[in-house]
A and B are shown apart, each in its own frame.
Chain A
Amino acid sequence: MTSTAATAVSPLVVDGLPLAIRTEGLTRRFGQHVAVDDVSLTVPQGAVYGFLGPNGSGKTTTIRLLLGLMNAHGGTISLLGGAMPEDAARVLPRVGTLVEGPAFHPYLSGLDNLRRLDAYDASTDPATSSERIAHALERVGLSAAARKYFRRYSLGMKQRLGLAAALLRPRDLLILDEPTNGLDPQGTREVRTLIRELAADGSTVLVSSHLLAEIEQVATHVGIMSAGKLLRQGPLAEVIGSAASLLRIDTTDPALAVSVLQRLGLVVGEHTADHVSVVSPVMPVEDVNAALVSAGVPVRGLLVERPTLEDLFVSLTGEGFDVVR
């Protein structure tokens, strides 16, 4: 019933899932350099979408395009059912943001900075302003430091204030660029909890990061950017599953093992004097073992190496410090 209602709002729905963010062919150049290259993001409503990519891969530019801060050179953007940047006034009040780190007036207190942002918001009731500000400060554990000048804040406190600004009113979508930057382990945990709470309340969260372990713990979906292109996106398990797992077989007769494996139709990777590797085994490991043993292969050990998000990330975006372009 609700799904038909959602379908009526149309372009937001793909495969029966309503989408909080959808871009098609989003492109942005800086001179010759294509910072965002034909990016089609699909972020389902209610998802925690981990937006991954090395530094300079175009994550932040994409976010700036989503929020109407920059002009796209091609493609379309739909945010919570509205077209950006045309529907910004209607859509953005429902979007909480943290873009490229927190930014506030250094010579105002944290409290005054939030008051200022709230005063600019036409969609919030001025009568509830102090209450909402106090609640947002409390939610990020900053109540005690509310009256300190922003310039006296530590990096972690600044980050918290940025999150508080994103929580000044109920949001349907949060776009958080590196929200754990500068936070200590406790702070990082709190942000993770916060993201889970927001998602549990029904908000969609797009969180960009290069802290993969962090993303792996909270994300339901991921998208991986490199050199301006969106290389992979989808539900976390699917995306990780798309990376090749390895079956390592320790044996004293690798030649025989290879012929058995090839007869089974498996892709054999590297093989040395004492082991053979199978890339993405398409049959259960125990069946592979049974086939090997019955063919007389002396099997000493079997090991399935499942890829992590990091393995996939590195395989897609490359190793080392070299900037891709």
Chain B
Amino acid sequence: MSSADLAVRPAVEVAYRGTLGRQVRSELRLVFRRRRNIAMLVVLALIPILIGVALKLAGQPRGGGGPAFFALVTGNGLFLAFAALTVCLPVFLPLALAVVGGDAVAGEASAGTLRYLLTVPVSRTRLLLVKGIGVVAYLAGAVGVVALTGAIVGALLFGLHNVVLLSGDTVPALNGGIRTLCVCAFVFIDLLGLAAMALFYSTLTEVPVGAMAGTVATAIAFAVLESVPQLSSIHPILLTDHWLDFSELLRGQVHVWSLLHSTLVPLAYTAVFGSLAWARITSADITS
């Protein structure tokens, strides 16, 4: 061991450009190549198919029974996308989101890979950002899969016609398509709050199932509170309160302000739980 000539080497560290891009690509590969996550997307795609086939075989429900939009599907295939989103929104989408979001940080902690990522090093803020992007990308993918499968299967089974809106107005198919995209965006924002919540829970534990269960339990708790009329005073601040407001987009005259107002609650949840997740991950001891 010769001493002084091995002295401190220059501490120059080049930061290569596009690191965030590399990190996000790696994260997306991890999320979208994982078999469990792919399986959940497949299940989500099956739901509009099942609804479509059932409606095709059984015919239009009498007297407009069944969940929202079901009665309209046979008239216009595009409504299968809305019907499927309505069915998936309370349970299936939150469940898939809880699994991926709850796994985001806790999964790395339980595998022990969190300590190696942090000593690469990656700053904790950056890691949370990349993980958040991964979860949000999965959410977008999940919503997209349901809507797209719904639209395609609906078009195949029932055809695409001019869209007769809930208000009775008729708009061209293209207009209907744009409205569908807006509905997807609205559902996406609805669930963003839940994604942030899942991410926060994920920073609290090194047991991914715990974070997943916590997210699902919270979503169920909201639904329960929502169903109790005596608690109507707190309903406006529940994450789930405006989840189905997207039907507003299917009226002739869209009340933009009322829609934007509906997105405030999920966006507020996103900000609060995103900040909590950040506060937690930047201060936690990594003992896993």
A residues contacting B by CB (< 8 A) are: 2-3, 5-6, 9, 12, 16-18, 44-47, 64, 67-71, 80-82, 88-95, 97, 99-101, 103-108, 115-117, 119-126, 165, 172, 199, 202, 220
Contacts and interface: CB of A to CB of B under 8 A. Distances in A.
Nearest to A202: B6
A6 B7 contact: yes
Contact of B120 (A2, A44, A120): A120
Contacts of B233: none
Contacts of A6: 4, 7-8
The winner among B6, B15, B30, B117 for most chain A CB atoms within 10 A is: B6
Contact of B8 (A12, A92, A116, A123): A12
A17 B6 CA distance: 10
A-B complex: 4 closest residue pairs judged by Cβ atoms: A103-B112, A6-B7, A3-B4, A92-B121
A124 to B, nearest CB: 7
Given A68-B118, A71-B283, 20 more contacts: A3-B7, A16-B4, A17-B3, A44-B1, A46-B1, A46-B2, A68-B121, A81-B8, A89-B123, A93-B13, A95-B119, A97-B116, A103-B116, A105-B30, A116-B30, A117-B117, A120-B122, A121-B120, A122-B16, A122-B19
A62 to B, nearest CB: 14
Interface in B2-34: 2-9, 11, 13-16, 18-19, 22-23, 25-26, 30, 34
Contacts of B123: 88-89
Contacts of A125: 14, 16
Nearest to B36: A107
A186 B9 CA distance: 34
Contacts of B13: 89-90, 93-94, 123
A323 to B, nearest CB: 19
A44 B3 contact: yes
A108 to B, nearest CB: 8
B120 A92 contact: yes
Interface in B112-149: 112-113, 115-123
A19 B18 CA distance: 34
A120 B23 contact: yes
Contact of A97 (B8, B23, B119, B283): B119
A101 B113 CA distance: 11
Contact of B1 (A47, A88, A89, A92): A47
Contacts of A70: 285-287
Contact of B111 (A82, A92, A106): A106
Given A70-B286, A119-B26, A123-B14, A18 B8 contact: yes
A79 to B, nearest CB: 11
B283 to A, nearest CB: 8
B287 A120 contact: no
Contacts of B7: 2-3, 5-6, 9, 18, 45
Nearest to B2: A46
B35 interface: yes
Main secondary structure of the interface of B (DSSP, over half): loop
Contacts, number: 135
Contacts of B3: 3, 16-18, 44-46
19 contacts: A6-B7, A6-B8, A45-B3, A45-B8, A47-B1, A64-B285, A67-B115, A68-B119, A69-B119, A97-B119, A99-B115, A99-B116, A103-B111, A105-B30, A115-B26, A119-B26, A125-B16, A126-B22, A172-B9
Contact of A104 (B2, B8, B9, B113): B113
Q: Chain B, interface size: which category?
A: 35 or more
A318 to B, nearest CB: 26
B280 to A, nearest CB: 13
A6 B3 CA distance: 10
B115 A103 contact: yes
B96 to A, nearest CB: 18
Contacts of B34: 107
A139 to B, nearest CB: 18
Nearest to B121: A92
A101 B112 CA distance: 9
B119 A122 contact: no
A88 B121 contact: yes
A99 to B, nearest CB: 6
A6 B18 CA distance: 34
Contacts of A165: 116
A120 B286 CA distance: 18
A181 to B, nearest CB: 14
A71 to B, nearest CB: 6
A124 B111 CA distance: 24
A108 B122 CA distance: 20
B119 A123 contact: no
The winner among B4, B16, B26 for most chain A CB atoms within 10 A is: B4
B11 A105 contact: no
B116 A117 contact: yes
Contacts of B30: 105, 108, 116
A46 B6 contact: yes
A97 B5 CA distance: 24
A319 to B, nearest CB: 30
B113 A9 contact: no
Contacts of A3: 3-4, 7
Contact of A80 (B5, B11, B23): B11
Contacts of A220: 1
A165 B287 CA distance: 20
